[in-house]
A and B are shown apart, each in its own frame.
Chain A
């Protein structure tokens, strides 16, 4: 069985053949430095920088998030813990999973914050919510980006719990998608998740309905 699998899985013959076909189709072998140069010559006249003021950008982000049925609250750094407490109380959620590297000053008393130490999926499923920071946000699309770094954690923790409380620093909010990509380009190999609102589908008569998989409830805390 293993040998058979091994035989099937040795795809060097297929590899050679596919590459040969591509080269025949293109009339030759592509050359790396030429490809890179041509890539650099691709026309990019789309918007790549912000047009709006900082305030307008933040208002736009809030607007978009409201469109997606996410709650948005603003707070100064010093008031984070209190704001978190308020949000969690309103949502009636106590048992919250957090990633490694979460700033303890952000965690209010009276709730159960558990650091993810590689919890199993079933264990994660017992939490009422997750709280993370974020890498950045895009105002035009209402998107927030998470990467596997301290304070944001691995992908599963912001996926399995039904509620996500996400902190976004205002200085990490970009107006356009290209700005966000420029920001994360240095860390392009990290596991990255974009989310725009809670999970949704439009598969039933094209009505966007919330909450298939992934957190159905989303609170965003904008840190000023």
Chain B
């Protein structure tokens, strides 16, 4: 059974630019889960983007200003929760040295102080709150894809699967080559569209082979890409962000 958290936290949500624009349901789901667990959520309105697209595509200079913007928005946050592991990886792996490159000593310190309070959504639940069961109900066959940044950069490990296994009614099936990249890779998906498609073909074949109704992950970037092909081929199989599964509870069933 899920429980109210012993400690009540004020959680600041960093929705991420693409979730804000394309996947607001994921953000709503995060809010729902956190409030159901008894925490308070706020949303600093000035937030935009972590800079990953620019940074990873080689436009480092354009990404630098976004570091101070992020710090400005979240410097007083008790905890920052982000429903996107690639964005957290960007922040965790690169912001310290980006701050060094900017050379602003105050920024360097603030980044160092803020980073330990920034969490990807599933790791917030499993590591920060120590939870497995968050009171979710999702009576569907689901398969989980391990997004690369969450897996390798953040070391999410078994966390997301632990949360999924505790979901009431879920029929969780393992996908073949769970850890293999889906082929999104940000701008890679358009700059190397053919290879991206080939990688995607393997991933959706694996999804379809599980017989799942839906494929889930911690990143809508992967899911957008996977869903794009699942829909194009009219497979009837959907994608759903982990947060949205966890937000679903028996009360509304």
| A and B touching (Cβ–Cβ under 8 A) | no
B residues sitting closer than 8 Å to A (CB atoms) are: none
